[in-house]
Amino acid sequence: MKIVVGITGASGSIYALRLIDVLREAGHEIHAVVTDSGWQVLDYECQVSRDAFSRRVDVLYDNHDVGAAIASGSFRMQAMVVLPCSMHTAGCVAHGITDNLLTRAADVALKEGRPLLLVPRETPMHAIHLENLLKLAQAGARIIPACPGFYHRPQSIGELVDMLVGKICDQLGVETDLFARWQG
């Protein structure tokens, strides 16, 4: 599959890096776009530079290039994941504001009926955040809050990250064994 991964300035870039690695290992083609604040968070939280990040993906787009391939419905992506998704980005997409490549690509996924997975990492949320997420869900986006479970008894941050990444992969139809599933 061709999967677009968008990274915004919300905390939680570690999730995006792990998802990209898992999807690449599974043989999927990753197209990525990172907002300006996303680059800052990638550097601060994960010490990942643009050069290092560009080596992890198949194609890296400039977020200011609204004419890039992923801005068009004729680009045959199978899904887009915005991870982490800031409330700014969620608000823009919810209201059809396509002022950069990431929000345009998300809008394209919605209009083309392709899976759009948004992974907000914000707490607490106020009514406007919740209304925007509801509006997105009603438009067809899947909302996957960055809320790892604990029933698999994680022993490390990596295991917490893997559970959320595994849940995202489930939504994409990508088989993984990243976490122990509940057996009852």
Residue type, 9: G
pLDDT band at 101 (very low <50, low <70, confident <90, very high): very high
CA distances from 101 to 40, 50, 55, 76, 124 (A): 17, 17, 20, 16, 27
**pLDDT, tens only, 129-151:** 999 999 999 999 999 999 988 98
Dihedral of the alpha carbons of 84, 87, 88, 92, in degrees to the nearest 10: 100
- Domains of the chain are 2-172 (3.40.50.1950)
pLDDT band at 120 (very low <50, low <70, confident <90, very high): very high
User: What pLDDT is attached to residue 180?
Assistant: 87
pLDDT band at 152 (very low <50, low <70, confident <90, very high): confident
Sheet holding 2-7, edge to edge: 59-62, 29-34, 2-7, 79-85, 116-120, 142-143
pLDDT band at 182 (very low <50, low <70, confident <90, very high): confident
User: What pLDDT is attached to residue 75?
Assistant: 97
User: What pLDDT is attached to residue 148?
Assistant: 84
Q: What is the mean pLDDT of the chain?
A: 96
Largest CA distance in the chain: 49
The mean per-residue pLDDT over the stretch 94-100 comes to 97
Asked if residues 174 and 151 have their Cβ atoms less than 8 Å apart, the reply is no
Residue type, 82: V
Query: 3-state secondary structure string, 79-143?
Result: EEEEEEECHHHHHHHHCCCCCCHHHHHHHHHHHCCCCEEEEECCCCCCHHHHHHHHHHHHCCCEE
User: What pLDDT is attached to residue 171?
Assistant: 96
User: What pLDDT is attached to residue 184?
Assistant: 84
**pLDDT, tens only, 35-83:** 999 999 999 999 999 999 999 999 999 999 999 999 999 999 999 999 9
